[in-house]
């Protein structure tokens, strides 16, 4: 039996499916342990176990710490009582919560999957993370940019890509006129950044902004749009990932621009939306000074703009209508082929981990 551990609502862990698909393909029993922070009622499979405790992401740091301690106590009890053969640790924080168990009971018997910058600037955190990485069967990262802040190690590249989604792959076809639909899909976050973009494009007959998904900024952003009577911004709410192809069918530009006060939290990441842009043939808007900017500009698959720029709307509009359609499609196919090859290597490592009796790969 293999245990999969996550530190939040599984709606925010679409890459978990990579592991559950591999486990099911290899007829391996598994259980998922996660923290259900959302108070909504959702039916989960019988092998999904959750710690139910509402904890909004906007809480004060003190209250967050007490919530994490409660989850940590629940998680440790579960792991000890279940006595799993191996573990799959999704993201950095659950690894820190199970530090002792991973080092003593699961040495070389777990995958450590790093998806974000956390608190690597804090030396005790960095040193603990380094030990978890060294004790893992293998550690994978979702962005090459992570090597800038993580300890030196032979990491496996794990892209935020579901290979099954490639069946929905389509080419970019440029519109002849507006309005252009700027689409966000996924957890609705980064309120200040969203407002900056909305303010630049509000009440424009050239753009519509559409948000698919929920998240920590969902209600606040909806209220902002309603209170300011902005008529070209729309929200569709929670969605099922299997409907992504339909939701993105009319997207002209993918809104993939993140901005927070601590820029390191987003600077190095390659978001799910980057891969959505490649699969569904959608140019993307990304933030400046980021790994995403390097990738989209290198491949001519998007544009990085400063949301504080006065001519933001004009530059975004002109960018879209200056895209070379055939060049865009060639470049995104090349990018996808490279990503698929790296993903095959990663998936083979996951399969080997599942089938192996124990020890290093």
- Which residues face 112 on adjacent strands? 89, 139
Instruction: Give yes or no for a contact between 220 and 193, defined as CB atoms under 8 angstroms apart.
Output: no
Report the alpha-carbon distance of residue 184 to residue 286 in Å, rounded. Answer: 11
| Angle in degrees, 0-180, between the axes of helices 191-201 and 218-227, rounded to the nearest 10 | 30
* Superfamily holding 2-158: Glycogen Phosphorylase B; (3.40.50.2000)
Q: Which residue has the higher pLDDT, 36 or 208?
A: 208
Paired tokens of 67: 């919530």
Query: How open is the CA angle 240-184-171, to the nearest 5 degrees?
Result: 85
pLDDT of amino acid 56: 56
pLDDT > 90 in the chain, percent: 77
Query: How open is the CA angle 20-22-28, to the nearest 5 degrees?
Result: 80
Residues 6 or more apart in contact with residue 50 via CB below 8 angstroms: 33, 34, 35, 36, 44
pLDDT of amino acid 256: 96
Give the pairing type, strands 48-52 and 110-114. Answer: unpaired
Instruction: Note the pLDDT tens digit of each residue in 44-56.
Output: 899 999 898 766 5
pLDDT of amino acid 359: 46
pLDDT of amino acid 161: 86
pLDDT over threshold 60, residue 358: no
Long-range contacts at 79-84 (CB < 8 A, ≥ 24 apart): 79/3, 79/5, 79/33, 82/1, 82/3, 82/31, 84/1, 84/2, 84/3, 84/31
Equal fold, 2-158 vs 165-336: yes
Q: For the beta carbon of residue 278, count every other beta carbon within 10 angstroms.
A: 25
Give the pairing type, strands 284-286 and 302-304. Answer: parallel
Whole-structure pTM over 0.75, yes or no?
A: yes
What fold does the segment set 165-336 form as a domain?
Answer: Rossmann fold (3.40.50)
When pLDDT is cut at 50, 70 and 90, the band that residue 266 belongs to is: confident
pLDDT over threshold 80, residue 115: yes
What ranges do the domains of the chain cover? 2-158, 165-336
pLDDT of amino acid 58: 52
Report the alpha-carbon distance of residue 3 to residue 281 in Å, rounded. Answer: 36
Report the alpha-carbon distance of residue 244 to residue 251 in Å, rounded. Answer: 11
Report the alpha-carbon distance of residue 183 to residue 192 in Å, rounded. Answer: 17
Q: Which residue has the higher pLDDT, 171 or 264?
A: 171
pLDDT over threshold 80, residue 313: yes
Report the alpha-carbon distance of residue 66 to residue 156 in Å, rounded. Answer: 34
pLDDT of amino acid 54: 67
What's the distance, Cα to Cα, between the start and end of the chain in Å? 19
């Amino acid at each position: 039996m293999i245990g999969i551990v996550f530190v939040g609502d599984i709606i925010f862990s679409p890459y978990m499916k990579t592991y559950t698909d591999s486990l099911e393909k290899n007829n391996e029993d598994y259980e998922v342990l996660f923290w259900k922070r959302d108070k909504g009622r959702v039916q989960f499979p019988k092998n999904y176990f959750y710690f139910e405790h509402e904890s909004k992401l906007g809480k004060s740091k003190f209250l967050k710490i007490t919530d994490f301690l409660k989850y940590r106590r629940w998680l440790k009890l579960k792991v000890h009582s279940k006595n799993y053969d191996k573990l799959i640790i999704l993201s950095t924080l659950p690894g820190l919560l199970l530090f002792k168990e991973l080092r003593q009971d699961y040495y070389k018997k777990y995958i450590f999957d790093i998806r974000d910058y956390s608190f690597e600037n804090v030396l005790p955190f960095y040193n603990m993370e380094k030990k978890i990485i060294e004790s893992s069967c293998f550690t994978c990262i979702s962005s090459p940019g992570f090597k800038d802040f993580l300890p030196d190690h032979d990491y496996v590249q794990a892209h935020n890509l579901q290979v099954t989604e490639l069946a929905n792959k389509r080419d970019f076809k440029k519109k002849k006129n507006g309005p252009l639909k700027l689409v966000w899909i996924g957890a609705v976050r980064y309120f200040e950044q969203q407002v900056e973009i909305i303010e630049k494009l509000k009440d424009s007959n050239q753009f519509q902004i559409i948000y698919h998904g929920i998240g920590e900024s969902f209600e606040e952003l909806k209220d902002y749009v309603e209170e300011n009577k902005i008529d070209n911004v729309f929200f569709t709410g929670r969605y099922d990932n299997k409907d992504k192809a339909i939701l993105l069918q009319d997207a002209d530009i993918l809104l993939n621009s993140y901005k927070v006060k601590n820029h390191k939290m987003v600077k190095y990441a390659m978001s799910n939306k980057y891969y959505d842009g490649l699969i569904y043939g959608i140019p993307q808007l990304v933030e400046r000074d980021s790994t995403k900017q390097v990738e989209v500009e290198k491949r001519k698959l998007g544009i990085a703009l400063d949301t504080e720029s006065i001519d933001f709307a004009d530059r975004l509009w002109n960018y879209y209508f200056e895209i070379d359609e055939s060049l865009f499609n060639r470049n995104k196919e090349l990018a996808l082929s490279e990503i698929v090859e790296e993903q095959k290597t990663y998936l083979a490592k996951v399969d080997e981990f599942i089938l192996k009796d124990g020890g290093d790969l």
